[in-house]
Copies of this chain bind each other. A is one copy, B any other.
Amino acid sequence: MFEHFETYISTKGSFTKEELQLMRSLSVEKKLRKRQLLLHEGEVCKYKTFVVKGLFRAYCVNADGVQHVMRFAAENHWIVDPESYNKQIPSRYNIEALEDAEVIQWTPEHFEELFTTVPAFRSFSKKLISRAMEASQNRVLMHISYTAEEKYNEFINSFPNVFGRVPLHMVASYLGVSRETLSRVRHAQLKR
C-alpha cells in the first residue's frame, strides 16, 4: 500500500530512500469497508489521512438530523477535519468510506517531524495547505455567487473523478440544494 504513496509523493518533490523510509515508519496504514467511519463525530481527529484507494465523504449532522456533506476525497487526495486535527479537540464531523478503501495516516506530531526534517516534504506540505485554503475560498465564492445550475456544472468539472461514484443526493447536499432541485436542474439540462 505504501508504494502507492511513494509514487504519489515522488511526483511532488525529490525524496531520498531514507526520507521515504522515514515517512513510512511514521505512518499508519488502514483498510476500511464501504460505510465504515474513519472519523466519528465527537472523536478527536488523530490523523491527517492520505487516500490510496476508495472514496470518502466528510459530513456533519445538524440538530434536525439533516446531513451536510462538507467534502469528498478520492484517490491521491487528503482528508482531515482541520479544526479537530489542529487543536486536537472533538470533531463535529463524520468521515465515511463510500467504497472499500485504503488509507495512510500521520499524527500531527509525526507529520510535524516530517515537515521539519524533510525539506521537500516541507514545501510539499505548504502547497497542500495553500491549495486547501484556495479550494475553500473558491467554494465560498461559488456559494455566494452561483445559481444551483452553475454550482452543479462547477462540481462536475472540478470533480470528474467523484461525480458518478457518489449518489446525487450527496452532491446536492455538498452544493447546498435539495436533491429534488438538483434532479430538476439535470432534467432541464437534458433538453439542450
Q: Does A129 contact B (CB under 8 A)?
A: yes
**A83→B137 contact, CB < 8 A:** yes
Task: Note all chain B residues with C-beta closer than 8 A to A37.
Answer: none
A176 to B143, CA, bound (A): 7
Number of interface residues of A (CB under 8 A): 27
Q: Does A62 contact B (CB under 8 A)?
A: yes
A174 to B133, CA, bound (A): 18
Could you say how many copies of this chain the assembly holds?
2
Task: Note all chain B residues with C-beta closer than 8 A to A140.
Answer: 70, 136, 139-140, 143
Q: Does A132 contact B (CB under 8 A)?
A: yes
Interface of A is mostly: helix
| A123-139 near B? 1/0 per residue, CB < 8 Å | 00000011011101101
Q: Does A153 contact B (CB under 8 A)?
A: no
Given the known A-B contacts A132-B133, A137-B136, are A144 and B68 also in contact in the complex, defined by CB atoms under 8 Å?
yes
| A50-83 near B? 1/0 per residue, CB < 8 Å | 0000000000101000101110000000000011
